[in-house]
């Protein structure tokens, strides 16, 4: 089921499967979200929960038992309930079920709140521990922005930064290597497919809280993610999109123990505890 939000000519469409953002258009009808063409990547803006990235060997151990979980968790493939809908706001909820308990033996509520106000979309996440034991998790966003024209005509403005320290991936896991990417004198990273030849760029514990995407020197959009400690940037070769991904976690490192509560960047909630966060997308 698809849900539409509208405000002053701007529109948003969300799918109940994964509570996934499918579309964000301005009043002239210009689309800013990737269309999900399976020739490149068949998703649009998946919700990453209860893990971000990949597990070493695709599994983890908890209390002596091994559990398998796909990359980026299971929320993106679950059917959410639409629990609130008005002209410019929608709230989607996912409760633990028999399928999720096979992968993740914790009782949770996950709520995704979309609120459209003119050219800005605020996306809120709420995680609730509905069980009787400490609940570990990570969560993240994965919006893919549609790029018209040449990829190299785009750049990301990182504000005051002069360079980026980027962790590299090895088989989908965080390697022991990192590299420094220099930025233009105007603090921009020029986009080039060669940047992503070894998968995503991972900025762990980054200090950036707002990025802007420019096309031929003109600002197209900004994404603000105050509170998110990590960031991923990703595309595939020759694909006309870029993912700008605020995260509260990342893939296991190559030397991970595989023990759940030893996972890096892990968040935990006590029974009855609530975690709230949000990020915003602004169009120009």
In the chain the domains, ranked by start, together with CATH numbers, are 2-148+232-283 (2.70.98.10)
| b/e sequence 255-271, b meaning 16+ C-beta within 10 Å | ebeeebeebebebebee
Mention every residue, 6+ apart, whose C-beta is less than 8 A from residue 225: 141, 209, 210, 231, 246, 279, 280
Average pLDDT on 218-228 reads 96
pLDDT at position 161:
84
For residues 265 and 251, the answer to whether their CB atoms sit within 8 Å is no
Where does residue 61 rank: exposed (0-12), middle (13-18), buried (19+ CB within 10 A)? middle
The pLDDT mean for the chain works out to: 97
Confidence of residue 21 (pLDDT cuts 50, 70, 90): very high
Please tell me the distance from the alpha carbon of residue 46 to that of residue 63, in angstroms, as a whole number: 29
Confidence of residue 132 (pLDDT cuts 50, 70, 90): very high
Mention every residue, 6+ apart, whose C-beta is less than 8 A from residue 85: 3, 91
Distances (CA, A) of 160 to 2, 60, 186: 39, 39, 8
Please tell me the distance from the alpha carbon of residue 77 to that of residue 74, in angstroms, as a whole number: 6
Which among 163, 171, 164, 177 is positioned nearest to 198, based on CA atoms? Answer: 171
For residue 155, whether the previous peptide bond is cis, meaning omega lies within 30 degrees of 0, is no
Confidence of residue 160 (pLDDT cuts 50, 70, 90): confident
Please tell me the distance from the alpha carbon of residue 231 to that of residue 202, in angstroms, as a whole number: 6
Average pLDDT on 144-156 reads 97
Confidence of residue 208 (pLDDT cuts 50, 70, 90): confident
Q: Which strands form 20-25's sheet, in the order they lie side by side?
A: 2-7, 10-15, 20-25
Distances (CA, A) of 105 to 47, 91, 265, 268: 19, 25, 19, 14
Question: pLDDT tens across 251-268, in order?
Answer: 999 999 999 999 999 999
Mention every residue, 6+ apart, whose C-beta is less than 8 A from residue 257: none
Question: pLDDT tens across 55-105, in order?
Answer: 999 999 999 999 999 999 999 999 999 999 999 999 999 999 999 999 999
Rg (CA), the chain: 18
Sort residue 258 into left (φ over 0), alpha (ψ -120 to 50) or beta. left
For residues 146 and 33, the answer to whether their CB atoms sit within 8 Å is yes
Give percent of the chain with pLDDT exceeding 90: 95
For the ranges 19-28, 178-187, 220-229, 242-251, which has the lowest average pLDDT?
Answer: 178-187
| Residue 71 CA to its chain's centroid (Å) | 12
pLDDT at position 276:
98
DSSP assigned state of 199: S
pLDDT at 48 over 90: yes
Report the SS3 class of residue 264: coil
């Amino acid at each position: 089921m698809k849900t539409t939000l509208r405000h002053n000519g701007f529109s948003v469409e969300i799918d109940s499967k994964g509570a996934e953002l499918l579309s964000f258009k301005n009043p002239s009808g210009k689309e800013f979200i990737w269309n999900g063409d399976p020739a490149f990547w068949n998703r649009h803006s998946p919700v990453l929960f209860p893990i971000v990235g990949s597990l070493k060997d695709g599994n983890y151990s908890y209390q002596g038992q091994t559990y398998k979980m796909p990359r980026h968790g299971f929320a993106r493939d679950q059917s959410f309930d639409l629990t609130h809908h008005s002209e410019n706001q929608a709230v989607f909820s996912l409760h633990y079920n028999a399928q999720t308990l096979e992968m993740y033996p914790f009782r949770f509520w996950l709520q995704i709140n979309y609120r459209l106000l003119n050219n800005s979309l605020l996306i809120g996440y709420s995680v609730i521990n509905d069980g009787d034991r400490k609940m570990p998790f990570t969560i993240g966003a994965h919006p893919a922005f549609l790029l018209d024209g040449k990829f190299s005509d785009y750049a990301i403005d990182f504000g005051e930064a002069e360079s980026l320290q980027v962790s590299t991936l090895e088989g989908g896991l965080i390697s022991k290597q990192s590299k420094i990417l220099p930025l233009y004198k105007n603090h921009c990273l020029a986009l080039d497919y060669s940047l992503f030849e070894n998968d995503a760029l991972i900025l762990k514990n980054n200090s950036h809280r707002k990025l802007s995407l420019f096309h031929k020197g003109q600002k197209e959009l900004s994404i603000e993610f105050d509170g998110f400690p990590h960031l991923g940037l990703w595309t595939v070769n020759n694909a006309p999109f870029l993912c700008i991904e605020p995260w509260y976690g990342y893939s296991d490192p190559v030397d991970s123990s595989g023990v759940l509560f030893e996972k890096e960047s892990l968040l935990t909630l006590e029974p009855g505890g609530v975690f709230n966060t949000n990020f915003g997308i602004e169009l120009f």
